[in-house]
Amino acid sequence: MHTSFPASPLTPAARWRRFAAPLAFLALAACSRPGEPWHLTDVSGHLPDLNFSLTDDSGAPVTGRSFEGHTTLVYFGYTHCPDVCPETMARLMQVLQRVGPDADNARILFVSVDPARDTPPLLRAYVRAFDEKHAVGLTGSDRAIEAVAQRYRIAYQMEKRDPRGAYEVSHSSGVYIFDREGHARLLATDRDSIDAIAADLRRIIHSKDA
């Protein structure tokens, strides 16, 4: 998965280590929380609330507050992604199918890590190909995307261009789930089953503490 990475004195390996360490901590921290266990990684209290200033796939400015009242599944990817992004989106569609009517209370936010190519119209066509009702594409300036990615410990980096000028963007592939008040609650990975994600998502949607 792939986009332009802002100029940085860090090497690619150093950048990945900087983001991977906090994620490893989150996975460990989840094991000690009381109450009914989650299927996914519990990140409550370990990540900031949903907060950003970006542009949606209609070209309108949006913030984290724009999605208050909805449980949000936030995924960072890009439309030219050859495999993981479409696979993840397809899995999330299956999750929403499992959730049933409660899915109307959820939104999937597809945040582009390739703003140079992912214009709002392209994002709109991409996310609508998966889901016309629940999925929203988000983009912005390089600086805005970098700020959101750093906020949620997402690593991404543009790879070397091929002779035709095409490139891929390496990026983290987890899906963050925020409750309807914008609090970070869970982290889903490709190791989590569709049923597990659906069960926890339904629980977040119905949570009285959300």
CA–CA separation, 44 vs 185, rounded Å?
Answer: 5
Residue type, 50: L
pLDDT 10s digits, 124-181 = 999 999 999 999 999 999 999 999 999 999 999 988 888 887 889 998 889 999 999 9
Q: Is residue 184 part of a domain?
A: yes
Q: What is the DSSP letter of 8?
A: -
Q: Is residue 88 part of a domain?
A: yes
> Is residue 154 within 8 Å of residue 112, measured between CB atoms?
no
**Distance separating the N- and C-terminal Cα atoms of the chain:** 32
pLDDT 10s digits, 17-53 = 444 444 444 444 444 345 689 999 999 999 999 999 9
Q: Is residue 2 part of a domain?
A: no
Q: Is residue 181 part of a domain?
A: yes
Q: Is the pTM of this model over 0.95?
A: no
pLDDT 10s digits, 96-131 = 999 999 999 999 999 999 999 999 999 999 999 999
Coil, strand, or helix at residue 111? strand
Token digits of residue 21 = 């360490």
Residue type, 157: Q
Expressed as residue numbers, the domain containing 154 is: 12-206
Q: Is residue 6 part of a domain?
A: no
CA–CA separation, 192 vs 26, rounded Å?
Answer: 16
Token digits of residue 30 = 């989840």
CA–CA separation, 129 vs 171, rounded Å?
Answer: 22
Give the pLDDT score at 181: 96
Token digits of residue 67 = 């999605």
Q: Is residue 114 part of a domain?
A: yes
Q: Is residue 3 part of a domain?
A: no
Split into its structural domains, the chain has a count of 1
pLDDT 10s digits, 65-89 = 999 999 999 999 999 999 999 999 9
Token digits of residue 157 = 């980096």
CA 1, distance to chain mean position in Å, is 13
Please report, for residues 7, 52, 161, 187, the alpha-carbon distance to residue 191 in angstroms, rounded to integers and kept in the order given. 32, 28, 30, 11
CATH code at position 18: 3.40.30.10
Q: Is residue 62 part of a domain?
A: yes
What sections of the chain are H helices per DSSP? 12-29, 84-99, 120-130, 142-151, 194-206
According to DSSP, the residues that pair with 111 across neighbouring strands are 76, 138
According to DSSP, the residues that pair with 53 across neighbouring strands are 63
